[in-house]
Amino acid sequence: AQSVTQLDSHVSVSEGTPVLLRCNYSSSYSPSLFWYVQHPNKGLQLLLKYTSAATLVKGINGFEAEFKKSETSFHLTKPSAHMSDAAEYFCVVSEVDSNYQLIWGAGTKLIIKP
Amino acid sequence: DTGVSQNPRHKITKRGQNVTFRCDPISEHNRLYWYRQTLGQGPEFLTYFQNEAQLEKSRLLSDRFSAERPKGSFSTLEIQRTEQGDSAMYLCASSFRRGGLNEQYFGPGTRLTVT
């Protein structure tokens, strides 16, 4: 059975410094992996997706994530944080034996300090 | 481009009342999902439709909850005899599955408050 673990419930960085949000997954097959972002009182927005093509995936707003099968990780990074990045970020896995249902991590709240 | 829309955006109701929410998916999407999200948590899957067929329901979906998707277009989620524990954000998402990809697009949600 698949599962997703987001290792940090909160991450706090200063504006202009790098962001790292960690995600580990458990999957029986080749998974599809996603990162979604949710700004306060807003809906969920797809940030980026991995679907067995390039292992380094670029998303919106300067975010990217690298799929590392040997480490079962899909960490989200951004070189320089902006105040507008403050939000909740969810790592999500989907695979064939779950009929492609999305399995959600618990979320990481990203706090940006001025 | 009209994404997924949900109505109403907010609903306040008294305990014991029935409520109904509507979701309009992206027009070419054949799959539609309902989730519930409480504060500080990720979305919890409730149910999904492929076209008009309801294919899976979570154990979270008690018999007070019912969802429909007539004609495979918009969907409604009804909660009967609401309880305070039903207070949450109800999210709708839609997708068009190609191969192994199930990329879901979410609406803004309906926030339900049961008093």
SS3 percent helix, strand, coil of chain B, rounded to 5, is 5, 50, 45
pLDDT at A52: 74
Per-residue pLDDT at A69 exceeds 70: yes
Out of B43, B55, B108, name the one closest to residue A104 (CB).
Answer: B43
Question: 3-state class of B95 per DSSP?
Answer: strand
**CATH code for A3-113?**
2.60.40.10
pLDDT at A11: 98
pLDDT in tens, A31-63: 889 999 999 877 899 999 988 778 899 999 999
Q: Which of residues 41-60 of B touch A (CB under 8 A)?
A: 41-43, 45, 48, 55-56
Q: What 8-state DSSP symbol labels residue A71?
A: T
Out of B42, B105, B107, name the one closest to residue A46 (CB).
Answer: B105
pLDDT at A32: 86
Which are the contacts of A81, defined by CB distance < 8 A and separation ≥ 6? A13, A14, A15, A16, A17, A18, A19, A110, A112
How far, in Å, CA of B13 to CA of B19, rounded?
A: 8
How far, in Å, CA of A105 to CA of B57, rounded?
A: 20
pLDDT in tens, B75-85: 999 999 999 99
Tell me the pLDDT band of B56, cut-offs 50, 70 and 90.
confident
